[in-house]
Amino acid sequence: MLTLLVAFFEGNEDRDTGKGVTAMGDRIRVEVDGVTHELTREQATELRGQIDDALTSRREFLHTAGEYRDDGAYVVSRRGADSAGNSKVFESFEQVRRLYERLPTEFTADAVSRSGITGSRRHMLVRHYAEHPAFDCTITRRSPLTVVKTTADGTGDEATAD
């Protein structure tokens, strides 16, 4: 049998969460990379809102959009579309990055389909790779839609995939 322990605190007692955050009356201490920052409750609330916004943000590009959801998932969708048929949900942005790294130096929607992504979502993902700044590649042909990976300095030299 599991036991549930609930503790009640007056607003002025010190509480250490054990995760680098300590509540001390009307102040909050946060430790990040070994540096302690002391905030008022108002500042901490504002920071929490800003962090929540950053963790669950949506960024729109020319034809596609990318959204970080609060469950950690990353969703690639057609810009302005709201149906499930116009989006692909990945477990995380890292999963999108790993797929990109496995693609050849020059790839089309057919190469993306080998990973199990079907239909028009393949083209949407190819466009997303070309539009998102985290992926160093560019569209070289529209028919068939073709993307070529470039080097970090943008010289067009071929990149290597894992």
The per-residue pLDDT of the chain, averaged, comes to: 84
Mean pLDDT for 128-143 is 97
The percentage of residues in the chain with a pLDDT greater than 90, rounded to a whole number, is 60
Integer Cα distance of 105 and 113 in angstroms:
16
One domain for residues 63 and 122? yes
pLDDT in tens, 143-153: 999 999 997 54
Residue 138 and residue 76 share a domain: yes
Q: Are residues 24 and 68 in the same domain?
A: no
pTM: 0.70
Q: What is the pLDDT of residue 154?
A: 43
Question: Are 80 and 140 members of one domain?
Answer: yes
Q: Which domain holds residue 121?
A: 56-149
**Has residue 52 got a pLDDT over 70?**
yes
Please indicate, yes or no, if residue 48 is contained in any of the structural domains.
Answer: yes
Number of domains making up the chain: 2
Contacts of 141 (CB under 8 A, 6+ apart): none
In a shared domain, residues 114 and 137: yes
Q: Is 73 left (phi over 0), alpha (psi -120 to 50) or beta?
A: beta
